[in-house]
Structure 1
Amino acid sequence: MFKALLFDMDGLIFDTETVYKASWQYAATTMGYDLTDEFYQGFIGVQDPDCERMLVEHFGSGFDLNYYKTIRDAHYHEARQAGIAFKEGFHELFAEAKAQKLTIALVTSSHLPETKLNFGATDYLNQFDLIITAEDVDNGKPQPDCYIMAYDKLGLKAQDCLVLEDSNNGMRSGKAAGCYAAMIPDIMPPHQDVIETADYIFDSLNQVTELLKSQR
């Protein structure tokens, strides 16, 4: 029996990854660079500063990162004004976890302002027992720091926790922390190393709800 669910956010709770990807690629194209789908895959589940360092290394010293960020952020904020949809099955999974009195944590590579923006006027953030954002850790995913911090702060052991992730880097982080981990892929499939180490690979959050129900 799991005692806690540790949720990623982007691509797992919210359908944000498609919007992020479009904004990152739009800014690159505007500046005359080609940010390919293949190269972008390395950004998924990774904190923005690390992704930005990868961009500078990839495009070279002539790449104007500050100008790039201005274009990217403006495009993203304009795109998300219409609102970001919750992923299928999240509401039902959250309700089931609450019904079973499981501990619930949010462990995201995003910063707190973006996290608050995504959840908007909903009451979900107030219902998490712990929230860890990019501001809280020095080493982001795929390093295990954020998940180790989560179960330490919750007073739990790694084996008490089920990490829920959509990205390969997130899965690597959760498994390196010693937790059980389930991948619900979003815009990219699991890599071979993740397939070999994942405890579960699901098509949607609905299957996580069914897993919880089976363990009552």
Structure 2
Amino acid sequence: MINALLFDMDGLIFDTESVYKKSWQYAAKQMGYELTDDYYQGFIGVQDPDCERMLCEHFGEGFDLEAYKVIRDQHFRKAREKGVDYKRGFHELFKTAKEHNLVTALVTSSHLPEVKHNFQDSDYLEQFDTVITAENVANGKPRPDCYIMACQRLNLEPSECLVLEDSNNGMRAGKDAGCQAAMIPDITPPNKEIAEIADYLFDSLEQVTALIHNQPRS
């Protein structure tokens, strides 16, 4: 029985992952480095400080992280000014969750100001029963801390909670927390490990809505 939906944000609710990727790769190119698609896959779902440490290790001595961050963040802010779209199926899924009396949580690796910016034109953020951002946990995804915290705040067993993720790192966090987990890939397909441990592999959020419709109402 699913009694709660735990939503990731970037690439799951909002079509932001492609924007992040372009900004990270643009900044690297401007500084004379190449951030390949394959290496960037490891960043998806992970908090920025962890990604930045990986980047420094990858590019080695002489890489100016502070200059890189300025270029990246300027590029991202400019791109985001054009607006960020919701992913197909989110509106109907959230409505269905409320109709079926499911509790909901937002569990993201992004910081609170980014979260507020993305949701600024709607009241969705106020409707989540709890919101967990990068500020709330010391250890980000793929470690399970954020999803463990979400279950504790909701006063539910992890087995009652369905994590919705677009990334392998997020899926690993959800499963290690003891939750059910469904992957709806955005720019990264499930790897072999995640394909084996995932409770569900979906093509869109619309399939999650169908899953909720097919279970008894509480």
Residue in structure 2 matched with residue 190 of structure 1 by the alignment: 190
Q: Secondary structure at the match of 1:84?
A: coil
1:111-150 correspondence runs (5 A)? 111-150=111-150
| Pair 1:164-2:164 in alignment | yes
Q: Secondary structure at the match of 1:85?
A: coil
Residue in structure 1 matched with residue 177 of structure 2 by the alignment: 177
Amino acid at match of 1:32: G
Partners in 2 of 1:152 and 1:171 — Cα distance?
18
Q: Secondary structure at the match of 1:138?
A: coil
Partners in 1 of 2:110 and 2:188 — Cα distance?
19
Partners in 2 of 1:145 and 1:132 — Cα distance?
10
Residue in structure 1 matched with residue 70 of structure 2 by the alignment: 70
- Tell me how large the CA RMSD over aligned residues is: 0.5
1:77-116 correspondence runs (5 A)? 77-116=77-116
Residue in structure 1 matched with residue 55 of structure 2 by the alignment: 55
TM-score w.r.t. structure 2 length?
Answer: 0.98
- TM-fit CA distance, 1:87: 0.1
Q: Which runs of 5+ in 1 are unaligned?
A: none
Partners in 2 of 1:107 and 1:68 — Cα distance?
27
* Number of positions where the alignment pairs a residue of Structure 1 with one of Structure 2: 216
Q: What whole-Å deviation, never above 9, does each CA across 1:66-112 have from its counterpart, x for those lacking one? A: 00000000000000101100000000000000001110000000000
- TM-fit CA distance, 1:153: 1.1
- TM-fit CA distance, 1:61: 2.0
Partners in 2 of 1:71 and 1:86 — Cα distance?
26
Q: Secondary structure at the match of 1:82?
A: coil
Q: Secondary structure at the match of 2:81?
A: helix
Partners in 1 of 2:43 and 2:49 — Cα distance?
10
% identical aligned pairs: 69
- TM-fit CA distance, 1:120: 1.5
Q: Secondary structure at the match of 2:190?
A: coil
1:32-51 correspondence runs (5 A)? 32-51=32-51
Amino acid at match of 2:190: P
Partners in 2 of 1:158 and 1:128 — Cα distance?
17
Runs of 4+ in 1 over 4 A off after TM superposition: none
TM-score w.r.t. structure 1 length?
Answer: 0.99
Amino acid at match of 2:161: C
Q: Which runs of 5+ in 2 are unaligned?
A: none
Partners in 2 of 1:165 and 1:104 — Cα distance?
14
Partners in 2 of 1:118 and 1:207 — Cα distance?
24
